[in-house]
A and B are shown apart, each in its own frame.
Chain A
Amino acid sequence: MSKHAEIIFETGAHSVVSYDDVAELERFLSEHHRRATTGEYGAAQDYVPRTDIEPELAAQADRNATRPAERIHKVLLYSDHPSDLHSDTVDVDTAKNLIDGMAVGGEFDSEQLVQALRDERSPTFPQDQGRLHSTYKAQEDGELDLSFLSDEGDE
């Protein structure tokens, strides 16, 4: 089972990445952050334009390749994909509390309960946590020290 990390970029983009050892993870972080601080592209430069699709879509290939790299803000470490570290089930006490919380006069809105149960089951937060915070409910094992990232390209 591969370990996973949640990379939070300064732009607010999030990416889950799998890795076998920290050296592999740091290799990506160093290279992508270097590109960001030197104004290089983040997208793959090795691509072959498609000839079997609509010309309107194929015409986007070159433009997509010029997407810039993004600086790394934070990296959270998990033992597995953070989506798998949150239970698919809802415990009974949580369900009872939800019903108690929305009950009015001994009744509750069934659709409201269904929505609340779906939110409980979701591996990601149903409310915005802020763009530079984790989107996952699972508790991370730790945060990677990013002091190894070079900012030589900064001005």
Chain B
Amino acid sequence: MYEHLHHAPCAALPFEGDRVHYATIVFQRWTDLHLNYILGNSGTITPPASWKICLSTTAVSAMARNSAISVTVSGTNVNELASSTAAGYARQDVARTIAQGGIDWAASTFDNTLATGGTSQAADQVTFSFTGVPSPQGANSWFMGDGTALNAGQIYVAADTAATRNFANGDTEKVTATIKSG
């Protein structure tokens, strides 16, 4: 039997049950950069010399648009993996070029599908290497930031990893960042 959802009481709506969280988030700094730098030619909010791909123990569901990278884990702060014991972890660069450098961005692709379409741009894959067990441990997301100091700098976008991954000596982790706009 076909049921018009707008006639049903809220409690009966199917999406009130096992709701899953969105797996990506765009932070305030990313939108500030687009608006201030692109529209207004800002000299204070500017892109970094290169993008840094980083890992975090924080799941996207615990992040907010104004989340900050912080060693003090409280509220919606984002905690970087391995910030106490690196065990080999270091941030990985993605150059600000298109299909030029060793690890940079591919040409953007456009999808004109109604509602779900937009323009996407994928970065080359980056690789993290681990010489032991990092602390904190357990990657739940990756994020794009700037600078090389751990648990510091700006945070632009983040996305969940498919699993909570715990690393040990000899492990590598791969991230292929794709940014979609629109």
Asked if B172 and A46 sit within 8 Å, CB to CB, the answer is no
Q: Report how many residues on chain A are interfacial, defined by Cβ distance under 8 Å.
A: 61
- Given A9-B127, A135-B101, A122-B166 contact (CB < 8 Å): no
What residue in chain A is nearest B94 (Cβ atoms)?
A: A124
> Of the candidates A15, A52, A61, A129, which one forms a contact with B172 in the assembled complex, judged by CB atoms under 8 Å apart?
A15
* Pairwise interchain contact A16-B171, C-beta atoms closer than 8 A: no
A123 to B138 alpha-carbon distance, docked (Å):
29
A39-98 CB contacts (< 8 Å) to partner B: 42-44, 46-50, 52-55, 57-61, 64-65, 67, 69-70, 81, 83-84, 86, 88
Interface 0/1 of A26-41, CB less than 8 Å to B: 0110011011000000
Q: Are A64 and B127 in contact, with the CB atoms below 8 A?
A: no
Instruction: Digitize B99-126: 1 where CB-to-A-CB distance is under 8 Å, 0 elsewhere.
Output: 0111110000000000000000000011
Q: Are A131 and B102 in touch, CB under 8 angstroms? A: yes
User: Is B49 touching A47 in the complex (CB atoms < 8 A)?
Assistant: no
User: In the complex, what's the smallest C-beta–C-beta distance from A94 to chain B, in angstroms?
Assistant: 15
Which residues B123-171 have CB closer than 8 A to chain A? 125-132, 140, 148, 160-171
Which 9 A-B pairs give the minimum distances between C-beta atoms? A31-B170, A135-B102, A61-B163, A15-B127, A47-B163, A46-B166, A61-B162, A60-B162, A81-B148
- Complex interface: chain B residues within 8 A of A70 (CB): 172
Q: Which residues of A contact B102 (CB under 8 A)?
A: 14, 124-125, 128-129, 131, 133, 135
Complex Cα gap A4–B86 (Å): 11
A17 within 8 A of B: yes
Among A25, A44, A128, point to the contact of B131 (Cβ < 8 A).
A25
* Most chain A beta-carbon contacts within 10 A, residue among B96, B127, B162, B164: B162
Nearest residue, chain A, Cβ from B92 = A16
Q: Does B38 contact A (CB under 8 A)?
A: no
A-B contact pairs, 15 of them (CB 8 A): A16-B90, A17-B88, A17-B129, A18-B86, A24-B88, A42-B171, A43-B172, A44-B130, A44-B165, A53-B59, A67-B174, A81-B91, A125-B102, A126-B97, A128-B101
In the complex, A27→B133 CA distance in Å?
Answer: 13
Q: Which of B61, B92, B170 contacts A35 (CB 8 A)?
A: B170
| A19 close to chain B: CB less than 8 A | yes
* Chain B residues whose C-beta falls within 8 Å of the C-beta of A127 in the assembled complex: 100-101
Contacts A81-B148, A135-B95 hold; do A7 and B129 have CB atoms under 8 A apart? yes
How far apart are the CA atoms of A9 and B129 in the complex, in Å? 11
Bound CA span A127–B170, Å:
31
Interface contact B88-A83, CB-CB below 8 Å: no
